[in-house]
Amino acid sequence: MDWIDGIIGEATVSPFEAVLLVVMLAGTLLIVFYAIRTGVPPQSSGRAARQAVLHLLPDEIEGPIVDLGSGWGALVEDLAARYPDNRVVGYELSPIPYWISLLRLRLKPRPNAEYRRADFLKADLSAFHAATCYLMIGAMKPLATKLNELPDGAVIVSNAFSLHGWTPEETITLSSTGATMYFRYIVRRDTVA
């Protein structure tokens, strides 16, 4: 069976390629594992989506800002650039996006930005005066209760999914991002579920 030998022969990989394949497979499995664990894949919001989020945020924010599930860091970078006087914190559980966001920060330093590899549902969010999120329906329900910790008057902007039991102060729909909706909420104790 010369033709089988030919295929196997051609498919032979070098030790370097074999290591690379194993690393890529392990990385993919790690990303999938955390997407299943959190219920949210690490999909970055695109440029237009990030602009919509920034548009819904006020020009001035009193204190630190948090991106709840910062993924690869794109939104944290934009927030840090727009609010140079505010601390911007990204919480991210999935290790690979978290490591990449650290690397991006090292390559392009933003002194007011930082990442924490932690579950934001277990973190103390009481110091944040603004929060952004781009999650999935299932993750929005526990978040709706968790956001009760934010100080009165804090602003929350959610990309694509509404907050269960909260009434948005403003909603926009962007056709360029597939008719995605963006929601702005203001923390008022009596609006929390």
Ligand X SMILES: C[S@@+](CC[C@H](N)C(=O)[O-])C[C@H]1O[C@@H](n2cnc3c(N)ncnc32)[C@H](O)[C@@H]1O
Residue 141 C-beta: closest distance to ligand X, Å: 12
Nearer to ligand X, 74 or 113 (CB): 74
Looking only at the bridges linking them, the beta strands covering 180-186 and 155-159 are antiparallel
Residue 85 CA to chain centroid, in angstroms?
Answer: 21
Token readout for 189 is 């104790």
In this chain, which residue has its C-beta nearest to ligand X?
69
Using a 10 angstrom Cβ sphere, with 0-12 exposed, 13-18 middle and 19 or more buried, the burial of residue 153 is exposed
Residue 34 C-beta: closest distance to ligand X, Å: 5
Nearer to ligand X, 44 or 51 (CB): 44
Q: Using CB under 6 A as the criterion, which residues of the chain lie in contact with ligand X when the complex forms?
A: 34, 38, 40, 42-45, 67, 69-71, 74-75, 91-94, 97, 119-121, 134-135, 139
Nearer to ligand X, 83 or 190 (CB): 83
Cβ atoms of 67 and 75 within 8 Å: the answer is yes
Residue 33 C-beta: closest distance to ligand X, Å: 11
Nearer to ligand X, 19 or 103 (CB): 103
Nearer to ligand X, 19 or 171 (CB): 171
Q: 188 to each of 63, 66, 142, 147, 185, how far by Cα in Å?
A: 17, 18, 18, 11, 9
DSSP state of 34: H
Q: Which residue has the tokens 């056709």?
A: 175
Residue 17 C-beta: closest distance to ligand X, Å: 29
Which of 140, 173, 148 shows the shortest CA–CA distance to 68? 140
Residue 132 C-beta: closest distance to ligand X, Å: 7
